[in-house]
Each structure stands twice: as C-alpha cells, then as structure tokens.
A and B are shown apart, each in its own frame.
Chain A
Amino acid sequence: MSKMKNGNLIVSSAPHVVSPVNTSNIMRDVCIALIPAMIMEVVVFGLRALALTAVCVAACILFESITRRLLGRPDTISDLSAVVTGILLSYNLPAGLPFWMAIIGCFVAIVIVKQVFGGLGQNFANPAIVGRIVLFISFATPMTTWVLPKSQQTVDAITGATPLGLFSKGMDVPSNMDMFLGFIGGCTGEVSALALLLGGVYLVFKKVIEPTIPVSFIATVFVFALVTGLDPVFHIFAGGVMLGAIFMATDYVTSPITTRGKIIFGIGCGLLTMLIRLYSSYPEGVSFAILLMNILTPHIDNLTRLKLNGVPAGGDK
C-alpha cells in the first residue's frame, strides 16, 4: 500500500489515556492519613507504641512477600496494601502487647485472610480486623491490658481500664475533651478522635474515600446513644468508632460500592457496635460489627445494584 515511515506502532484498545490515580498512590494516601494518629500514639503511649507499629508493618510486608513467593505469584509489596494493613492492625492493639503476639496477628491478617483467598481484592473481610479479633480471642488478657496514657501513669499503676471498660462497670469516665484529644486508655491508634478525623478529612479531600460510610456509621452510634439516654459524644469518641468508621469500614474491598449500599453498611456497623456495647459481655463492639457487615457486603451489593438509565423502576429485565 502507501509509503510509511513507522510500521511498528503499539496497537491497543481505547482509551489510550488513564487517570494518574493508581492503587499504590491510593494506599500511600491512606498511609499519609494515618500519620496524625501515629504521632498521637507516641505522644500518648510513648515510643513502645511506635515500635509496635513498626513491627506490624515489617511483619505484614514480610508475610506478604513470602506467601506470594511460595504461591508462585508476582510480588505485590509495591501496592502498599500490606503497609496499610500493618499500620491498621497495630492501631488496634494495646501499646504493651508483646511483639510476638502482634506478629501472629499479622500472620492471620496477611496470610490467612488476604493471601489464601487470592490476595488484594479477594479477601472477604478486612485483614486487620480479623487479625485483631483472632488475637483478642486467643490472648484475652494481654489484649485487654490497657496501657494508660503516660500523663496518667503512676508509680504503681501503668495500666488501667478504657473509657468503655469504665462505662460498662458503671464507673466515672474521662472528660469528652480528653477523649477527643486522645489522653485515654485504649488501643494505640484509636484513642485520638482528633487525629483520626484529620486523616479522614484528608482522605475525603483527596477523594480516596467518600464520607458516606463514616458519616452513617458515626451518626448511627450518635443517634442510638441519644435515643437510649446515653451521652452520644462519649460513644462516638470512645473505643474504635473513629478508627473503625474512617479507616476500617471504608476498606474498598470489603464494603459496598453504591451509595445506598454504603449507607446500609454504615448504619449496620453503627447499630451492631451499639448493640454489642450495651447488651453483650464485651465493652467494645466495633471490630465485630465491621466483620459482620463485611460478610454481608456481597449481599448488600447485590440488593443495591444500580438501575440502568432509562429503564423504569421494576422494568429491569
């Protein structure tokens, strides 16, 4: 045919441009959003908490790399999802937890929950949540030995109860301001509502998450507490609500896709959290609430399937 100068061009299907957002920079943004809480864990609990986070991150990366290699699959460290899991898991542990226990949690999260099911995107539940729950059930005492904030430690008491623990025993709870800032007992990363909210605002601003799930989750907890005559501000700042609502329940893989689905998911998480807090023997229910809603996610997705434009309601063939 006609003359040509370049005959070995790349042929691919359209579109030929893609948005700059990829999985790695989404995960990097999540890590950035977790930095304020990391600063607060050091301020509140000292460097032991930071060491715990470092151990968890290292263990998660190592487990991910080894498992992928053993399964003969390409390495996925660079997507940073293992780093996120490590940070989140460490945020769900008491600051004084022995490192070897934390490493077992990382093994459960990365190997059992994530890689055995096929790796990123295939896990049915949030790996960090399951890691925490397994540790919680296996090592009940160390997992509920709460280090007190350094500012509240005395010569003979460096551990004490969390605000929810005090609440379930009917004792005096810390002021809402202390709870907002994070000077309370609890898991390393969950104590400071302020730091977590800052991270959440960053994620919404960077369009990594939509506020739908956090808002419906927190609002449900708030309203539930209000209706049952409790202090709603206490309940949204206590325990893992902020960490869970902003960082764990918004995990793409294990939460619904549509807005309606997200609202149902958030409300479900809030309701289960409060039911567990008020009517079960556990003082705290965020982890179990999210896990149960993770399991329901495929069904929620199925029920909230989008209607095709122009097809009248009910006319979906």
Chain B
Amino acid sequence: MSSVSKHLKGIHVDHCKNTAGQPIVQMPVPEKVYIPMVQHIGAPCQPTVAVGDHVKVGQLIGDNTAPMCAPIHSSVSGEVTALVKGMTAQGIVDTSIEITTDGKQEVAETVVPPTVGNKEEFLAAVRSCGLVGLGGAAFPTHIKYNPRNPEQVDTLILNGAECEPYITVDHMTMLEHAEEIVEGTKNILKYLNLKQAIIGIEGNKPDAIAKFNELVKNEPNISVCELLQQYPQGAERVLIYECTGKHLIAGKLPADVGVIVSNVTTVLKLQQFLDSGMPLVSKSLTVDGNVVKEPKNVEVPIGTPIIDIIEFCGGYTGEPKKILMGGPMMGRALPDDGKCIIKGNNAILAFDATFANMNPETACINCGRCVKACPMNLMPTALFKAFERKDVDTLKKYHVMSCMDCGCCTYVCPARKQLSFINKLGKSLVLAEGGKK
C-alpha cells in the first residue's frame, strides 16, 4: 500500500477502460510513415538521411549534438521519399521524414545488443536507444538518468499508475512483459547505483499488482506500491508523494528530492534495447473512443498516420469530431486524423459530436469544488479571478506556477469554466512578466 497516511486530493473519473485485458496486437506496416524530427523536449534532430536513401528498421535517421536531444530511428524499411515540413501531432512545425515502406521490415546492421559494463556505457546505451519518457512528457531519458546530484538520488519510481480513463495499454504491457520490466529495473538500479525501486500501480489493476508482487518477492530493493483509485495518481508529483511521502514543488526536478521517475513502458523499451539492440521504433497504444469500430491495444511503428491505425481498428462507425492523442484528461485534441504517432504517445481516442461539444460557460458560484479537487492544494477560483484582472502578483501569491495541468479543477467545475487552461494562460502571464524585468 501507499506509504503515506494523508493522501493528496484528486477526483474520481469514470475509468471507461473498455480495452482492459485486450492483448497488444502488432499492426501491419502502413504504406507510408512520417517520422517527425522532434518528438521530445529539447533540440529537434537533423535528418541524417536524404530523399532517395534506402533505410532499414532501427537505422538512425535523425540526430543532433545538442545535449538535450534523443536520436530518432527508422521504424520501417523502405525509401525516404520526402522531407516534409508541417505541423506534427504536438503542434510543432518541423520536418518529418516520409518513408515509403517496402513491407520487408529488414533490420539495420547497426542493430546489435550494446556492451554495457558501467554507468557511462549504460547512459550511452540509453541515449543511442532514442529513449524518451513514454508516459507522455517525452523528456530524454539519458538526461533524466544522469542527474546533477547523483549522490543524493537513491530511488527509482516506476510509473504504472495509468490513471487516465480509457487507456489500458500500460496495464497490458505490465501483464505481458513484467519479467523484462523487473530485469530493466534491476539494470537501472545497478548502473545508476540506486538503493531502491518502487513500482507504483493504481489499485484498479490488481492482476498487475499481484504479478509484480510475485516477481519481486525475493528482491529486497524492489517494492510495489498500490496507489489509490483516484485521478491523477500517475502525475509525477502525485506519484512521488504517494510512493515516498516527499513533495516536489514547482521548478524542482524529481532528482532534487532524490528520485528518478520512469514509465513502466520506458523501462521495458530500455530492457528490450539492452537485449536486442533494437532502438525505440514502435509504440504500443490504446485505440478507443465511441466512433472506433473495434477498440484495441496495438503496437504501431512510430510515424504511422492515425487514420491508418483507425482503419486497422475497423474504421469509424460515425463522424469523428474530436480525436485525442493521449487520455481525455490531459491528452491533446488533434486538428485532423492525418497526424502521426510519436514516441511519447499512449492512446488515440476518437469521439463523435456528443462527446466533443463544449458546454456553455456560466458564472462561478464559488462552490469550492475546484479547491477540493486540486492535488497541489491550489485555489483555482482565486487564480481565475486574478487572471481576469491580469493581476500577476496575485497569480504568484496563489502559486499559479505550481499548477501541473492535471485538469481536475476543470473536470469538477459546475460552471464549466476552463480553469486549468486559464492556469496555463496565467503561467504564461507570470513568465512574460518575469521576462520583462
């Protein structure tokens, strides 16, 4: 169970885990993939291939010498047919490499298991794998695993909370690959010289909890923490608190409280790379939503257009009006279904107009539901009033910078105010003001 006696606040959202228990199926290679050169937080990659080049699975196709960057590999074998500039699923305008596939899925010669004997080689391996945080934030993993204060960092937390509604793919990944995840955990503990690992799993996945408990019963350094069935247990700051009792305040990194947090799928992909040498070229995700004919958990090559995935799942049953990349609480609404899968992507959800229509906003009645929901103990009602007045001092006084965009306040607001979005705007207002001084 969770080690803290007083839990952080949160909300209860319908789980809607329609795809729970569905095995992850491999999607056939699409006709074309579009691999964006920026799929992580940090510097975009520069293409290392040109139009006309033949590429194979696992071959390096984009890199950058900037420290904050993760290399990008081809997910398919085929021919580079274009370098297209356009908006990616993240809303960033950058280059994507269009590869017309040949269906052979030949593996590149460079794909060989890395030799890892010490921390430096381990970190080099993590980088060359192209690994980024797969929970959604897409922070380059080799930077995260190399904190500035290694002597203070002693705990690895594995995020298996999967608190977003609909998404079940991490759950399935944990069931199908628990052994590899534990193996990967042991490697991280060994090479980063950490004392313990805690696997945090939300209580609505008892089978995954039981499986890990069984696997780690003879591992004194690895434990399982059953998290509350409450959103947002998987938010980094909430997870760290629930697993260790330590608070992570805004502007600090997990390493500042002695912790490294990785998604379970990130650890799995790392272990698979150590075993096979195959870098991060495919991503498992949940495909669901009320206009998807056959909701599924699928493993798809990175760069696959969303429309191809939907068609693999039986196509649409109605007209989609909102397509989300990620869950309904924190996912991003996409402008069209031609956008392509990136590394930090764990769900594609397509909904019709009944879901997508926005409710009209009414007046704040000061009911305090947002205050009772906020895991950070913020007061969104005061923040939105301060934002309406463009009152930067009050925004700071009420800690707008500590908002982690979890969306609990917007979810519970009976006046349908976009409170968490207003907090985002409030944060940029504070940052703009800071820039002026």
Contact = CB atoms under 8 A, between A and B. Distances in A.
Contacts of B398: 305
Interface residues of A, number: 44
B322 A9 contact: yes
B414 A4 contact: no
Nearest to A256: B368
A3 B305 contact: yes
A257 to B, nearest CB: 4
Contact of A14 (B249, B334, B415, B420): B420
Given A14-B331, A121-B366, A26 B249 contact: no
B379 A306 contact: yes
B328 interface: yes
Contacts of B412: 18-19, 21
A16 B371 contact: no
A2 interface: yes
A9 B337 contact: yes
Contacts, number: 181
Contact of A15 (B84, B330, B367): B330
B13 interface: yes
Contact of A252 (B86, B324, B368): B368
A194 to B, nearest CB: 27
A15 B379 contact: no
Contacts of A3: 305, 307, 338
Nearest to A78: B362
B340 A2 contact: yes
A12 B333 contact: yes
Which bucket holds chain B's interface residue count? 35 or more
B186 interface: no
A255 B365 CA distance: 10
Given A14-B405, A306-B371, A308-B249, A21 B336 contact: no
Interface string B408-420: 0011111110101
B416 A4 contact: no
A258 B372 CA distance: 8
Contacts of A296: none
Nearest to B303: A2
B410 A15 contact: yes
Given A22-B359, A257-B366, A4 B336 contact: yes
A6 B319 CA distance: 8
Interface of B: 8, 11, 13-14, 32, 34, 84, 86, 96, 98, 165, 241, 246-249, 305, 307, 316, 319-324, 326, 328-340, 351, 355-359, 362-369, 371, 375-379, 381-382, 398-399, 402, 405, 407, 410-416, 418, 420-421, 424
Interface of A: 1-19, 21-23, 25-26, 76, 79, 81, 119-122, 252-255, 257-258, 305-311
25 contacts: A2-B340, A5-B338, A6-B320, A6-B337, A7-B336, A7-B337, A9-B335, A10-B333, A14-B405, A15-B328, A15-B411, A16-B328, A18-B410, A21-B414, A22-B414, A22-B415, A23-B363, A23-B414, A23-B415, A76-B362, A76-B363, A255-B366, A306-B378, A308-B399, A309-B376
